[in-house]
Structure 1
Amino acid sequence: MVRATSNKHSRNHKSQSGVEKNKNCNVFGFQNTKDTALVIFTMIGVFVGITLGFGLRQANVSADVKTVVAFPGEILLRMLRMLVIPLITTSIITGVTQLSNGQNGRVGLHIVVYYVATTFCSVLIGIALVLAIKPGYQPHQVEATDMSKGADLTFSWLDTFLDVIRNLFPKNLVEAWFRVDRTKVMEVVQSGQNSSENATTLVVKTLESADGSNALGLISFCIMLGITLSKNSGNSLLIPFFEELYSVFMDIMIKIMWYAPIGICSLIAGSLVQVENILFTFRALCLYMTTMCVGLFIHSMVVLPLLYFAVTRKNPYKVYAASLHALIAVFGTTSSAATLPLTIRCAEEKLGIDKRFTRVMLPLGATINMDGTAMFQGVATITIAQMSGISLSFGKVITVWITGTLAGIGAAAVPGSGMVVVLFVLQSVGIPIEALGILYTVDWIVERVRTPVNIMGDQIGVCIVSHINQGSDDKQGSSEETVPLEDIVT
């Protein structure tokens, strides 16, 4: 039986404190004056940054002026990098404890399998499309790319697999914040003992510690810690500690987001001033948006409906039609947490889902099920690598896939969180973050496309889990305690 205790829901919604105070959404989806103002300020920052960037390009300013223009954006990136690891680690710990606590094994297993499988699939679709479309590819980078590929010829699939497994278990948790283990392959030419003997080439493999966060190791540790804490939730004081810590980090991030319009304006203007080929940048942004839109369409309109139909043998698009009010709201707020009350009402009143499922799974889904955001992690990371002229090896692509999936669990359900989390993925594969500024130009558009996909995934998931477990739950009765919707709305 799915049991949702008031204590668990109070923790879940406490973690969303500072995100919104009033959860009553109007038809346009904006929560209150602050939400509307932040969206407007961000859009103004984007347009001012574009105008300023093109104006400074025409003025042919000096290097010092370019540095000053880009400086506020640099401060924004430094603040986000400062916050990204603490925010993601505490989010994953609290999310795992909430998911495990109060769930019976069968239903909990179904929820975990659905969340992980759909998120993995979402990132895989995005990576496949970005490697095929190549939005950041430049023709003059062909030679550099071929050279980098030639250097990786001695890199085996075994090394890639072992590096991924090895990094899942870091030898030093503190070092994992800024170092990652990688296999280095070198060719050593060994000359013969005398001039008549030919020289031989030996392949030597060594394990080195490279710059970059060991995202896999940090996430795996947080998952193990969360599971362990959930098993001892009755006697552990650490669960409320991490929940309060996550709430504090969220409040800090919300304050940083009010500085974001200035930082975004600076990042866009600085990127446009320094970019050499403006036509290539425009082309790359258009292809980047196309890649995201195609990937999100495939995932939300093909993959999720097929999964729903395979399990329930019902029309999946009726689920989307019944959730239209929540989808309109999330288009305006770009926050899964902000539209949670509407999502629950749509599931219960229009889809007829038992509240024992909706009031457990949907709050969790708003926190840890981010299909659209997870796809964005993979597409944005590889696009930035392509724009920077960096060729990613097979091992790094696998790292992006796994890290993007797991980091999607730690993405906060608030506007702008995707750009924060992508810094985590970029650091995991050693890609410079400077090119991230140019993606801010269109992120406010892409975010309004990818966030509704998160809601779609939540609604399809709760319908599937309810369909699978409804029969067994009815046999056990429905006397279990559920949380009133008013406790979630207010």
Structure 2
Amino acid sequence: MESSSNGGHGNTTLYIVGAILLAVATAIIGPAVLGESVRPAVEVLDVGGEIFLRLLQMVVVPLVMASVMSGILGLGDVRKLGRPGAYAVSYYLCTTVLAVVTGLIVVNIVNPGRGIDPVLVEDARQEGEQTLAHVADRRQGRRIEWHNVTGDRAAAAGSSKNAAVPEEGVWSVRVAIDQVGEADTAAEARVLWSHDGDVFEEAPDGLFKAGLEPGVYTTSPVVPIPEGAEFVRLDFTPQDGGERSVVEAYLVAGAPSIGDIFKNLVLMLFTNNLLASMVEINLLPLIVFSIAFGAMLTTLGPRADTISELVLSINDALMSFILLLMRLAPLGIFCLVAARFAHAQLDGQFLTLLKTQAWYMTSVLVGLGIHALVTLPLLLWFFTRRNPWTYLRQMSQAVLTAFSTASSTATLPVTMECAETKAGVSRRSTEFVLPLGATINMDGTALYEAAAAIFIAQAYALVDPAFVLTFDKQVVIAVTATLAAIGAAGIPEAGLVTMLIVLNAVGLPLELIGLILPIDWLLDRFRTAVNTFGDSVGAAIVDKGFPPDNGAAAA
């Protein structure tokens, strides 16, 4: 099977490698030599890369639905999917756990947060607050704010502001007091909550005092609102002395809980609008529907022959389209990588970030490297006796495309084409295992989030010596990162929200996510490449669990 696929495509991998290297070199040298004058050219590259990415995404939904249905039709009986399905889910869960453990071990050895500048931690906190506000707006649609409760002490003593707490989500209150002029007595803000709006109780850690010196004082961490609270109130007492003090407070959405993750994990299997799931490229409910529809077709006998042939023909046509699209891959990948790296270089981020966060990047990349080049190859060899390095070479186009696009879903068509035509994985396995893996298998993401959480904890300990990263907290990080990586795919801003879940689980300030945001775009490419390779290894391993091919699913 492999030999028949190489005609005309044997050099594609080399072209892609060359395109990536040329793109990085262009992105670094161009802005350094030409400065801002190169920005129009970067915008043109950005458009070219976006076109290639959209062409890949365009084919994802019809390919997933047609391929899963084709796989069921090839089995002839959906009950034959039981054992391979169990193998696939078990494999994905086990490799995610192994990835998280690897990340924790590496980051504890390297200890990247130990030497970070405390000033950088405070700067990152401010950037993280802006990001949290953006996530809150995306998840809940709004923030509820109080503003400018101010005045002299006699006039404003006991002044208060009330707000209703939304029914959905976990909420906290953030308070900021701007002290203008030096005060004799600090201004105070007290957060209270109520079930009925009449009787209010003080929230845990609800009293917040500003300082005497001029400046802005902000609650850190935020003040949590007890579950079930329907109203909150802010009582404000201005300072004595000084010019004035101004308070600003607002409700902010917290990270989802583990319960939210389990709920989402179940609900994301189903959809009330199939077309909406297609538009959002929400693959898991589409896979469930395709399995059910394909299974139904196998029960109709000759009456379903026409639609069955149509499904198989659509699947073959889409795979041919992907082969055609791969001829454009080197050019599209060059545009994608050059545009993103050039933007970072023009903004003064790229080389600066490599210097300031070198140890953190080293921790993540070493962890991802161990998982991709040691753990996954060992699993592949143990279960299939395949040569792991030959298999990696066969899947190299998919891995490089994943690095370029930073999207497992967008890379899925290329992954399926490489696994079937180059690596010789059966169509039955690629058509079922790979779409499922692109949705729930996030080895690289889980490893990254575990390592990032430890890095943030190490850095936070520098500014708050009271925080101690104990072994039990690391266990909580491992469990939470595993569940979040699997179960948060249906949440808006999923990659960011899953990181917030991990931080929230061990009591780290959520705004410290600003420490990892500047370099996230680069590390995202590496972890996506690991996710894609992990999916393909799973397809090869699970392939052994399918019953012998009776010829119904001939490629």
Aligned to 1:303: 375
Closer/same/farther in 2, CA of residues 439 and 297 from structure 1, 3 Å limit: same
Q: Cα–Cα, structure 1 residues 316 and 139, in superposed 2: closer, same or farther, change >3 Å?
A: closer
Q: Which secondary structure does the structure 2 equivalent of 1:348 belong to?
A: helix
Q: Moved runs in structure 1, 4+ residues, more than 6 A?
A: 25-28, 263-269, 281-284
Equivalent residue number for residue 59 of structure 2: none
Q: CA deviation at 1:437?
A: 4.8
Q: Percent identity?
A: 33
Q: Which residue of 1 aligns with 2:150?
A: none
1:322/1:244 Cα in 2 relative to 1: closer, same or farther (>3 Å)? closer
- Check conservation: 1:327, 1:452, Cα contact below 8 A: yes
- Which string of whole-angstrom CA distances, capped at 9 and with x for unpartnered residues, describes residues 62-115 of structure 1? xxxxxxxxxxxxxxxxxxxxxxxxxxxxxxxx99xx99x967321111110011
Give the Cα–Cα distance (whole angstroms) in 2 for the partners of residues 243 and 359 of structure 1: 18
Contact 1:268 1:440 in 2 (8 A): no
Contact kept, 8 Å, 1:176 with 1:217, in 2: the verdict is no
CA contact (8 A) 1:348 1:358 kept: yes
Change (3 A) 1:115 1:239: farther
Q: 1:118 aligns with which of 95, 112, 116?
A: 95
**3-state DSSP of counterpart to 1:314:** coil
How far 1:443 sits from its partner (Å)?
3.9
Asked if the contact 2:255–2:504 (Cα under 8 Å) also holds between the matched residues in 1, the reply is yes
Distance in 2, Cα, partners of 1:287 & 1:433: 21
Q: Does 1:225 align with 2:202?
A: no
CA distance in 1: counterparts of 2:171 and 2:480, whole angstroms: 15
Offset of 1:439 from its aligned partner? 4.3
- For 1:253-296, what per-residue CA distance to the aligned partner results, in whole angstroms no more than 9, with x for missing partners? xxxxxxx99x9999998xxxxxxxx9xx9776111111112111
1:382 aligns with 2:454: yes
Separation (CA, whole Å) in 2 of partners of 1:212 and 1:398: 21
Quote how far apart the aligned CAs of 1:239 are: 6.1
CA contact (8 A) 2:261 2:488 kept: no
Residues 418 and 133 (structure 1), Cα distance of their counterparts in 2 relative to 1, 3 Å cut: same
Q: Per the alignment, in what secondary structure is the counterpart of residue 387 of structure 2?
A: coil
SS of equivalent to 2:386: coil
Q: Tell me what 1:466 maps to.
A: 543
Counterpart for residue 57 of structure 1 = none
**Deviation at 1:323?**
1.0
Q: Does the CA-based 8 Å contact 2:457-2:508 persist in structure 1?
A: no
Whole-Å Cα distance in 1 between the matches of residues 417 and 390 of structure 2? 15
Count matched residues.
325
Tell me, yes or no, if the aligned pair for 2:258 and 2:480 is still in contact at 8 Å: yes
Q: CA deviation at 1:402?
A: 2.0
Question: 2 CA distance for matches of 1:434 and 1:126?
Answer: 19
Given the alignment of the two structures, is residue 457 of structure 1 paired with residue 434 of structure 2, yes or no?
no
**Alpha-carbon distance in 1 for matches of 2:373, 2:519:** 27
Residue 221 of structure 1 aligns with an amino acid whose one-letter code is K
Structure 2 CA distance for partners of 1:442 and 1:362, relative to 1, 3 Å: closer
Partner of 1:407: 484
* Whole-Å separation in 2 of the counterparts to 1:404 and 1:417: 13
Q: Is the 8 A contact 1:373 1:451 kept in 2?
A: yes
Q: Deviations over 1:385-432 (max 9, x none)?
A: 22223643444323322222222235669xx96456423433444433
Paired letter, 1:353: V
Q: 1:268–1:372: structure 2 CA closer, same or farther, 3 Å change rule? A: farther
Counterpart position of 1:431: 509
- Inter-CA distance 442–465: structure 2 relative to 1 (3 Å threshold): closer
What secondary structure, in the 3-state scheme, does the structure 1 residue paired with 2:454 have? Answer: helix
| Shift, 1:357, TM fit | 1.2
Amino acid at match of 1:117: C
Larger Rg: 2
**What's the counterpart of residue 257 of structure 2?**
215
Deviation at 1:435, TM superposition (A): 4.9
- Once the two structures are superposed, what CA deviation does each residue of 1:197-249 show, in whole Å capped at 9, x if it has no partner? xxxxxxxxxxx87x94343111111223356x5xxxxxx7466666656769x
Aligned partner of 1:479 in structure 2 is: 552
Query: How well do the aligned residues superpose, as a CA RMSD in angstroms?
Result: 5.2
Match of 1:109 among 86, 96, 118: 86
- Report if aligned partners of 2:264, 2:487 keep a CA contact under 8 Å in 1: no
1:75-94 correspondence runs (5 A): none
Hey, what's the Cα distance between the residues in 2 that align with 1:344 and 1:338?
11
- 1:426–1:433: 8 Å Cα contact kept in structure 2? no
Greater helix fraction, Structure 1 or Structure 2: 1
Change in CA separation of 1:224 and 1:337 when aligned onto 2, cut-off 3 Å: closer
* Corresponding residue SS for 1:366: helix
Name the CA distance, whole Å, in 2 between partners of 1:423 and 1:266: 29
Residue identity in the other structure for 1:113: S
Compute the displacement of 1:327 (Å).
2.0
Q: Tell me the TM-score normalized by structure 1.
A: 0.52
| Secondary structure class of the residue paired with 1:373 | helix
Distance change in 2, residues 1:478/1:427 (3 Å): farther
Q: Please give the residue correspondences for 1:275-424 in structure 2 after superposition, counting only pairs within 5 Å.
A: 285-388=357-460, 389=462, 391=467, 392-409=469-486, 418-419=495-496, 421-424=498-501
The Cα offsets for residues 40-67 of structure 1, whole Å up to 9 and x where unpaired, read as 9xx89xx99xx9xxxxxxxxxxxxxxxx
Could you tell me whether the CA contact under 8 Å between 2:262 and 2:487 is conserved in 1?
no
The residue identity in structure 1 corresponding to 2:262 is S
Q: 1:408 to 1:266 in 2, by over 3 A?
A: farther
Structure 1 residues 426 and 355: alpha-carbon distance in aligned structure 2, compared to 1, 3 A threshold = same
- Aligned residue in 2 for 1:73: none
- Relative to structure 2, which stretch is displaced further, 217-226 or 316-325? 217-226
Q: Deviation digits for residues 132-161 of structure 1, max 9, x if unmatched?
A: 2210124999xxxxxxxxxxxxxxxxxxxx
Change (3 A) 1:264 1:342: closer
CA distance in structure 2 between the aligned counterparts of 1:300 and 1:118, rounded to whole angstroms:
11
How far did residue 341 of structure 1 move?
A: 2.0
Q: TM-score, normalised by structure 2?
A: 0.47
Q: Which amino acid aligns with 2:375?
A: V
CA contact (8 A) 2:96 2:442 kept: yes
3-state DSSP of counterpart to 2:408: coil
Asked if residue 128 in structure 1 is aligned to residue 105 in structure 2, the reply is yes
